[in-house]
Structure 1
């Protein structure tokens, strides 16, 4: 099962990486460069999402109204 193409592809998608990476390691179906790549991509995506969340939080902390998707994107893309 871990040799399936879907499992290989989904193991590179950050939300699925922790579970599928350990499954593939336990079954011995993964090379060292895939482990390094997947962990690196997971770390990079975590850092990017942390900065995005901090930016949105900083701009909406005192806003008691709901934030629409349009407002969300404008807050995210607006330069300080």
Structure 2
């Protein structure tokens, strides 16, 4: 939703209905104890907390991808 700034578009890309996506985002807000998106304004925008969470999640995903690539390369070298 951060990229598309629209719940319906974000839901469609993920293969979800808009109500389901909205429920997921609300549950995430509740679990983290912060509002990730300002849903009043259009287009929908990340809050400052949402921006911080996105930055941290991006770093985690980047790290996990690097780890997976490293392990795959290491595994390929050992099986060749």
Name the TM-score, length of structure 1 as normaliser: 0.44
Structure having the higher strand fraction is: 2
Name the TM-score, length of structure 2 as normaliser: 0.44
